[in-house]
Amino acid sequence: MLRTVVTRLAGAAVMAVLATLVIFLIANTVPGDPVLAQLGDIAASNPATVAEWRAKWGLDLPLWEQYLIFLRGLAQGDLGTSIASQRPVLEDIAQYAPATVELASIAFLLALGIGIPLGIAAAVWRDSWVDAAARVVSLIGVSSPTFWLAFIMLAIFYGGLQIAPGPGRLDPIAFPPDEVTGFFLVDTLLAGDWEGFRDAAAHLVLPSIVLAAATIGLITRTTRAAMLEAMGQDYVRVSRAKGMRERYTILRHVLPNALIPVVTLGGLAYANLLAGAVMTETVFSWPGLGRYTFRSAAALDFPAIMGITLVVSVTYLLVNLLVDLSYAMLDPRVRR
Amino acid sequence: MSTPTLEVEDLRTVFLTDAGAVRAVDGVSFTVGAGETLGIVGESGSGKSVTALSLMRLLEEPARIAGGSIRFQGRDLLAMRPEELRALRGDRMAMVFQDPMTGLNPVIRILRQLTEPMVGHGRFAAPEARRRAVGLLVRMGITAPERSILRFPHEFSGGMRQRVMLAMGFANDPALLIADEPTTALDVTIQAQILDLLRQLNAEFGTAILLISHDLSVIGSVCRRVAVMYAGEVVEEAVTEAVLADPRHPYAWALVNAVPRIDQPLGADRRLVSIEGAPPDALNLPQGCRFAPRCPFKVERCEREHPPLAEVAPGRLARCWVTQAGQVLPKAGGAGLGGVRPPPPPAAEPLLAVRGLVKHFPLPRESFFAPRRVVHAVNGIDLDVARGETLGIVGESGCGKSTLARLVTRIHAPTAGSIVFGGQEIAGASPAAIRPLRRRMQMVFQDPYASLNPRMTIGDTLAEPLVAHGLARRGVEVRDRVGGLLEMVGLNPAWVSRFPHEFSGGQRQRISIARALALEPEMIVADEPISALDVNIQAQILNLMLDLQQRMGLTYLFIAHDLAVVRHLCDRVVVLYLGKVMESAPAEALFARPLHPYTGVLISAVPEPGRQRVLLQGEPPSTLAPPRGCPFRGRCPIAQPVCETMPPLAEAEAGRWVACHFPGGFSHAGLGA
Amino acid sequence: MSASIALPAPRSRRARLWRRYGLAGIGAGIVLAWVLIAVFAPWVAPYPPDFVDVANRLKPPSALHWLGTDALGRDCFSRLLFGARISLLAGISVVALGAAFGTLVGMVGAYARGFVDAALMRLTDLVLCFPPIILALAIAAALGIGTTNTIIAMLVVWWPKFARLARALALVQRSQDYVEAAVVLGLKPARILGRHIVPNAVGPLVVLVTLDIGNAIITFAGLSFLGLGVVPPTAEWGAMVAEGRELVEQWWVATFPGLAILSIVLGFNFLGDGIRDWLDPKARSR
């Protein structure tokens, strides 16, 4: 088990280094001269100024040396400076990340909490109305564009019925809680601010449903397929031949096997939720990484975009690593 | 007399399909007394497994019981509520299934899988159940049960898993154990261990056993009585030994005589009794006797009237008008089937010579930094195949016999060693260099369902090699050749435009053989060509291979695990163990007096009622880490310290080669003719 | 229990076919309808897609403007019809090119084995370690706004799943008995690949391609929504939703393009599921 952890960690580290190389290369294929963008027309017409500027930023060095400098910066937590906010990218990311993690985590719990039971029910009562309903829910979930679903939900529940709060994390006139973790649900509780907690929770309902929609569909489908696969295995018949109750057979024999592929998907889905938050946050004016990404992309703020890509990719790698390891926990055949 | 454990009367089970109700079990009756053993034998589709599932009331959609009665210890199973049935299953009546590899849940420890029926039926409290589980594993012959019980199924071999399955079956000391082909997926030495165990358990615990198998010899070595099933009906029921010696139903007669027996004297004529045709379509059963269309003894009445199961002799029931009228079925022995095989001519130079052949398969790394593991499939094999002879290769799974076939046909490239075919070295030759030689050596595969491309008609399949080697021009010429090939293997030439899924397993194997013959090869490598087929079809294919060899002077490299078939078909036999040759000798001599202890044990493990058996303990070592020295020494009954060095394959007697420090040192009363 | 028992009649053939392939038929119908609309948009649309009529801006659906007008007074219905062109073009070209390249990489890897295989698979893993939307977003931003650039950005993240699947399928096929038989028969590699391996391996690829077109359409629309897809004033569904996202009162501006995306993606999903059922012999015999 320890060896598995170590080898997987080492593999992930190799991939992370390669990922920085890819990001560096993308950043350096940017069309248009950064000199022009940064110095403006007049200064750029003076060759001496340009040369000096290039030397200052290391742009006259060969590409591989520039990469090494980039790596050195990374090692010190330097992701560059955002053009738009004029602040270090890492600071920006640290500021916006909690909102996104809070949203994605709630959406993830929602997706698992709805998707897995629905998938199980669909498989157990195969071809019944439950199965049909699960199918409709999952198909609509995976087929709806997130950004549109966000608009529709806002239009219906906030604009039309007025039973849901509007965009944002809190009521516009409410004060945010003292920052401890950056998660409003936690921070309001820590401050003993029940009003604030209710407000934060209410603001989470629509965006988390929207964000979870596609994932609910995926998890329902995968769970159903994995359950059906496991239910067709010989050990299920053996369990029945042993006289075990049907409920026991499903929960203790079928489910543990069916969950193995769901875990893989679940890990991937969580990472994708972090990334998919771009659309949801944009529509719900959610002050998280997603909206930051959108703004950076719209403003062509490359240091910010590359910084986000790097941070999210490393998170992605870590989540995949965790999935691999939990896989080994669930499936003894992978253990060693 | 006390109530019988199981009384089945006129059981009818149907499959509700789109095409109609298929009568899979059609009026089956039998009785199993307390502590009795009954076998059910029949080919695939005869309804034997459906009968077993019906008894447990474990049928799944679209199968259902349509009539009859099943009484278990006097209680009507068909009238029981689901909860009552559940309380019975795994408690008073237990079942063991065919495939031990899939029957255990891979993510649950052995312990819980063993104790859950004990605790679930409220017979034992958890700690008690655990003690009992350990005890049962000991009884099943599992070493270090305290440790084993905490393991997961994938850490066990197939034989060990089947022992666990048996322990599960005996968890609550049932009155009846139903075992559905419990040894079919296992090697012959492991099969012998499991059958022996079943016999002991029956004797010790007085558990009645219903054993289902396609192999009459397997049933004969456990069960006192047998019921022979055909097309959903019992066609004969009697004491097993009597059926084996003197079958009273023509189908049972064919079943008994289609298989070569390992202790039967070999005649000059090697053809087996085979009945043509296939079982009837269950949707469209013949009006008279269901076996009549294939029966060599049928009379006019058989096609008109459906015979009842009636007594033909004291204690013997048969569903046959002919034997009920007192007629006796002939003794087997290939009466008038003709076809004596000339001995192969002494060839100066072997057609195929293999020296020091080695094949290692590196496994993919677990991860970037994990050490690479290597499967040692073939570890230095020497053999010669003379022109016109049939060389048999035998051994248990993992001995490297299939890899050997793929090496001499150069599907795989060897890691080391030489392969000389027709005077040419092909071990290291490039695919392009071998291509012209391919015409001279062909291969027939084991699984008739996997060896034909499902998306090509059989006409295209057979034409492809002809065109590729320029043996026939497209159009009429190819069509004629393809038609000729189909005729040669006994198929209708009009079937060229059909796809493989329209054919039965036996027919597909004929197509495979026809494809191999298309290039008119000198040699055919046959990798277990009959082991996926029913015994009757096996006999048909073996007879076809014998015919073709006579007509075309073919050389066969015949790979099999069925020793009786090898003894019957082959001139010489090579015994493999863990990728090495243990013994190589003329077939008759080898079976009469094996010189290597492994050969002796292997022969003795063949199930045959009334034979003395040497039970081999343990299982073959892993091919990932083969032991040093003689690979067999860990299980060998006569191993000595000297066996830690590998004995060379040396000529112990004229024409007999053995890799053993003590050739002939192992003898047993049950061995030899 | 008596010997004579009433057996339920088997379901009729038509009911069975409908149950199994009904949704697939609906999906095929939806997809076909959108393809026809895309092809014939200039003839079907009542107005040119970028005909600006500020006097009639933000008019609700009416007989004149079936789906109303947007903030510039353009006819939403006409723009919707024209939007099908870009969405289908982007979805199909991304998946077709991505599948072609990915399949090539996967099959070459499986065929060559050894170092080539290892290198190609590491490359695949590398791309897969980025979240697709973010990486596509970064590349699209780097390349600049425009349909072609966005498609290129999507292609970069799109091919690896096909490489993985194609490699797995080719590896399964390689060890099939009939492929080994073809080797023993002395057939040339090209024929083995073309006649024996590819025809038996394409099934799952076809399923993935069909299901994936819907994915690609959603992703492209998403990038457009974020302002990275098409150059305004091109009619594109994602961009149209973006234009209407602040207009809750004028709900029609954003609602209908989203419904269009939903319908076409559902169509491809139905179709893909149907093909999968049809290819799966286990499901077919049921």
Chunked into runs of 10 residues, chain A (336 residues) has average pLDDT values of: 75 82 74 54 70 67 78 81 82 89 91 94 90 89 90 86 81 77 82 84 90 91 91 92 93 92 83 80 88 80 80 83 80 69
How many Å apart are CA B79 and CA B114, to the nearest integer? 29
A238–B58 CB contact, under 8 Å: no
Q: What is the mean pLDDT of residues C66-95?
A: 88
> For B169, which residue in chain A has the nearest alpha carbon?
A242
Determine if the peptide bond prior to C233 is cis (ω within 30°): yes
Q: Chain C: give the shortest CA distance to residue A332, in Å.
A: 23
On whether the CB atoms of residues A275 and C133 are closer than 8 A, the answer is: yes
Chain A residues whose C-beta sits inside 8 Å of any chain B C-beta: 3-4, 6-8, 10-11, 14, 233-235, 237-245, 248, 252-253, 256-257, 260, 330-333, 336
C177–B431 CB contact, under 8 Å: no
Asked if pLDDT for residue B322 goes beyond 60, the answer is: yes
Which of C129, C226, C257 minimises the CB distance to A294? C226
**Average pLDDT over all residues of chain B:** 88
Residues of C in contact with A144 (CB under 8 A): 258, 261-262, 265
B442 three-state secondary structure: strand
Q: What is the mean pLDDT of residues B327-334?
A: 73
Asked if pLDDT for residue B671 goes beyond 50, the answer is: no
pLDDT of residue C284: 43
pLDDT of residue C5: 42
B455–C199 CB contact, under 8 Å: yes
- The rounded radius of gyration (Å) of the Cα atoms in chain A is 24
Asked if pLDDT for residue B672 goes beyond 80, the answer is: no
The two beta strands, B316-318 and B233-239, are antiparallel
**Residue with structure tokens 């009794």?**
B273
Interchain CB contact of B103 with A (< 8 Å): yes
Interchain CB contact of A14 with C (< 8 Å): no
CATH class entry, domain A95-299: mainly alpha
Interchain CB contact of A18 with C (< 8 Å): yes
pLDDT of residue C113: 74
Of A163-177, A189-203, B312-326, B513-527, the range with the lowest mean pLDDT is A163-177
Per-residue confidence band for B523, with pLDDT thresholds at 50, 70 and 90: very high
> For C177, which residue in chain B has the nearest alpha carbon?
B451
Asked if pLDDT for residue C251 goes beyond 90, the answer is: no
Residues of B in contact with C13 (CB under 8 A): 18
The two beta strands, B580-586 and B352-362, are unpaired
B18–C13 CB contact, under 8 Å: yes
Interchain CB contact of B154 with A (< 8 Å): yes
pLDDT of residue A40: 60
Q: State the Cα torsion A5-A7-A9-A11 to the nearest 10°.
A: -150
pLDDT of residue B363: 79
Interchain CB contact of B442 with C (< 8 Å): yes
Interchain CB contact of B16 with C (< 8 Å): yes
Of A30-34, A281-285, B257-261, C200-204, the range with the lowest mean pLDDT is A30-34
Asked if pLDDT for residue B559 goes beyond 80, the answer is: yes
Closest CA to A147 of C228, C161, C69: C228
A11–B369 CB contact, under 8 Å: yes
On whether the CB atoms of residues B606 and B594 are closer than 8 A, the answer is: no
Residues of A in contact with C132 (CB under 8 A): 272, 275
Residues of A in contact with B58 (CB under 8 A): 237, 240-241
How many Å apart are CA C265 and CA B64, to the nearest integer? 42
For B160, the token pair is 């060990």
Asked if pLDDT for residue B339 goes beyond 50, the answer is: no
Which of B15, B18, B447 to mutate to test binding with chain C, by most C CBs within 10 Å of its CB?
B18
Asked if pLDDT for residue C280 goes beyond 80, the answer is: no
Interchain CB contact of C198 with A (< 8 Å): no
Q: Hey, what amino acid is at B18?
A: D
B261 three-state secondary structure: coil
Which of A144, A159, A316 minimises the CB distance to C130? A316
For B597, the token pair is 């202890």
Report the Cα–Cα distance between both ends of chain B, in Å, rounded.
43
Cα–Cα distances (Å) from B467 to A330, B493, C191, in that order, read 53, 19, 12
B102–A7 CB contact, under 8 Å: no
Interchain CB contact of B480 with A (< 8 Å): no
Provide the β-strand partners of residue B586: B572
> For B86, which residue in chain A has the nearest alpha carbon?
A243
On whether the CB atoms of residues C276 and C23 are closer than 8 A, the answer is: no
Number of H helices, E strands in chain B: 22, 24
For C49, the token pair is 């897609």
For B262, the token pair is 């390992």
pLDDT of residue B142: 85
How many Å apart are CA B521 and CA B28, to the nearest integer? 49
How many Å apart are CA B359 and CA C180, to the nearest integer? 17
Interchain CB contact of B65 with C (< 8 Å): yes
Per-residue confidence band for B336, with pLDDT thresholds at 50, 70 and 90: very low
A15–C132 CB contact, under 8 Å: no
pLDDT of residue A321: 82
B362 three-state secondary structure: strand
Residues of A in contact with B57 (CB under 8 A): none
Report the Cα–Cα distance between both ends of chain C, in Å, rounded.
28
Which of B15, B421, B443, B453 to mutate to test binding with chain C, by most C CBs within 10 Å of its CB?
B453
Domains and CATH numbers, chain B: 6-236 (3.40.50.300), 247-336 (no CATH), 455-516 (no CATH)
On whether the CB atoms of residues B426 and B437 are closer than 8 A, the answer is: yes
Residues sharing a CB contact under 8 Å with residue A278, sequence separation 6 or more, in sequence order: A290, A291, A293, A294, C133, C134, C137, C222, C226
Residues of C in contact with B465 (CB under 8 A): 185-187
A245–B86 CB contact, under 8 Å: yes
Neighbours of chain C (3+ CB pairs under 8 A): A, B
For C123, the token pair is 């490359």
Instruction: Tell me the pLDDT tens digit for each residue of B86-111.
Output: 999 999 999 998 888 889 999 999 99
Per-residue confidence band for B634, with pLDDT thresholds at 50, 70 and 90: confident
**Secondary structure element (H or E) that encloses residue B523, with its range:** strand B523-527
Asked if pLDDT for residue B334 goes beyond 50, the answer is: no
**Secondary structure element (H or E) that encloses residue A295, with its range:** helix A289-298
Closest CA to B216 of B185, B239, B232: B239
Q: What are phi and psi of B177, to 5 degrees?
A: -115, 125
Residues of A in contact with C129 (CB under 8 A): 15, 19, 313, 316-317, 320
Residues 114-173 of chain C whose Cβ lies under 8 A from any Cβ of chain A: 125-126, 129-135, 137-144
Instruction: Tell me the pLDDT tens digit for each residue of C14-26.
Output: 776 777 677 888 9
Interchain CB contact of A310 with C (< 8 Å): no
How many Å apart are CA B67 and CA C205, to the nearest integer? 47
Neighbours of chain A (3+ CB pairs under 8 A): B, C
CA A290-A296-A298 angle, 5° bins:
105
Asked if pLDDT for residue B262 goes beyond 90, the answer is: no
Asked if pLDDT for residue B488 goes beyond 80, the answer is: yes
Instruction: Tell me the pLDDT tens digit for each residue of B108-167.
Output: 999 999 999 999 999 999 999 999 999 999 888 888 888 889 989 988 888 888 889 999
Closest CA to B512 of C59, C180, A57, C48: C180
- SS3 for C190-252 is HHHHHHHHHHHHHHHHHHHHHHHHHHHHHHHHHHHHCCCCCCCCCCCHHHHHHHHCCCCCCCH
Instruction: Tell me the pLDDT tens digit for each residue of B544-556.
Output: 999 999 889 999 9
pLDDT of residue C2: 35
**Is residue B478 left, alpha or beta, with left meaning phi > 0 and alpha meaning psi from -120 to 50?**
alpha
In 10 A of CB C46, how many CB atoms? 12
A275–C134 CB contact, under 8 Å: yes
Whole-model pTM? 0.84
Q: What is the mean pLDDT of residues C110-139?
A: 82
Asked if pLDDT for residue C3 goes beyond 50, the answer is: no
Asked if pLDDT for residue B487 goes beyond 50, the answer is: yes
Listed in order, strand segments (DSSP E) in B399-477 are 416-421, 424-425, 441-444
Q: What is the mean pLDDT of residues B651-663?
A: 89
pLDDT of residue C6: 43
**Residue with structure tokens 């079919």?**
B184
